[in-house]
Structure 1
């Protein structure tokens, strides 16, 4: 698929919608924030699954500033989810949100999940989770199961989880997530594959997982998307983003 084939957001005649979803580890805005903003804006996302959002002094103000600069709004997460954050466009209607802290393992960083249920126009409800899994293999595997549990608990027929998995597709945690959900790149590869490190990417440790009834139209690193500069991708943060186009069916009527 050519790089120009990333579908735009739209509402289809049958009431289904195409949404753009972006997953991005932003390293607490410690790098080139202007470059980060340019990348996000060029991707024109409806949903942004952020990891390593600011968590300390005035974190809400930092999150709100990033949302404002990218023409998005804060949906859920941040420090109250230990780093994962969700942003959305004004196209989204929010049913509910919840920030979840995961069990703390001594000696490891606290982890959490930013979750929400949203709709786009007349679409069916979509349950979403932004996650950043542990560096410790055993804890990471357990947290992958917690992501799946949280997706199920959202109670929606259509779900998407995205984030920094901290391991490649052959890892047990990654495989656990992909067992019942579609690994976006594997299903509909588009753009670049590897997400880390940004200067010479050789590992795919960031991913988007869609429920079996979500249609993945395209998914990958937007390395040559119009408006996305290679220099910005290298300086925005220490990961490359993952951009996907997803089709969500129309809501059913009783």
Structure 2
């Protein structure tokens, strides 16, 4: 099934919302920005959970440029969340945002979460973009903090998307799986592996949902331009189409 054959973003008569969510590690936009924007536009997302957004000199300018090229707007995150960033279409009505820094382990990179609560049609949805540690021990602890943050959003439904730096079945992913569902496991579509982009052989990027969110399809789109995928960044994007019940 091509991207164009996926359900379109829409609000149903009962107030529920069909939403397209993209998760994408952009490697600090050090590669081909135009290819990156073309990949994002081709997926036609309502929400984009970015990892490794620019964090240093003029990072807000870089984030705004990526949003503009992708025909989206900046929602939250960036350097203030240590890398995770949220972009959205004008369809999303923003209720609130919060950038969260996770505890720093000496000698390791600082990690954080970009979070938001948005309304799409009659649905109210919590969204978290994350990028967990390369350290297994720290990553497992961060999984617990991530679950705490999802609970604190105060929304009936939530989406967590990011680079988990771990395959399914690992300690951190297993901890998350106790409360969140892997959208690929629920409704696989396209392909699964996300890293490295030139020859992906592991699924370390994922989109997770709380119970009640209906997953219609999730995976790496198989009909994106291969040249753009390899030129844009070192990860492949994960696209999910979900139906969120009315609040």
TM-score normalized by the length of structure 1:
0.95
Q: Which residue of 2 aligns with 1:146?
A: 145
1:236 to 208, 232, 244: 232
| Alignment correspondent of 2:33 | 33
Question: Match of 2:18, SS?
Answer: strand
Describe the SS at the equivalent of 1:156. coil
Is the contact made by 1:3 and 1:190 (CA closer than 8 Å) also made in structure 2? Answer: no
Answer whether contact 1:223 1:230 (CA < 8 A) is retained. Answer: no
Equivalent in the alignment of 1:65? 65
Instruction: Tell me the residue number matched to 1:54.
Output: 54
Deviations, residues 182-237 of structure 1 (Å, cap 9, x unaligned): 1010010000100011111110000000001111110000121xxx2111111110
* 3-state SS of 2:178 partner: helix
SS at structure 1 position matched to 2:148: helix
Mapped partners of 2:125, 2:74: distance in 1: 17
TM-score of the superposition, structure 2-length normalised?
0.98
SS class of match (1:180):
coil
Q: How does 1:55-204 map to 2 (within 5 A)?
A: 55-123=55-123, 125-204=124-203
Shift of 1:3: 3.5
Displacement of 1:51 after TM fit? 0.2
Aligned-partner Cα distance in 2 for 1:26–1:41: 14
Question: Root-mean-square deviation (CA), in Å?
Answer: 0.9
Q: Is the 8 A contact 1:163 1:206 kept in 2?
A: yes
In 1, Cα distance between equivalents of 2:62 and 2:162: 20
Q: Deviations over 1:86-119 (max 9, x none)?
A: 0010000000000000000011000000000000
CA distance in 1, matches of 2:122, 2:41: 25
Distance between the aligned counterparts of 1:71 and 1:49, measured in 2?
15
**How far apart are 1:137 and its partner, in Å?**
0.2
Corresponding residue SS for 1:166: coil
Unaligned runs of 5+ in 1: none
User: Contact between 1:50 and 1:163, CA under 8 Å: does it hold in 2?
Assistant: yes
Asked if 1:246 is matched to 2:242, the reply is: yes
Superposed CA deviations along residues 56-83 of structure 1, whole A, max 9, x for unmatched, are 0000000001111111111100000000
Unaligned runs of 5+ in 2: none
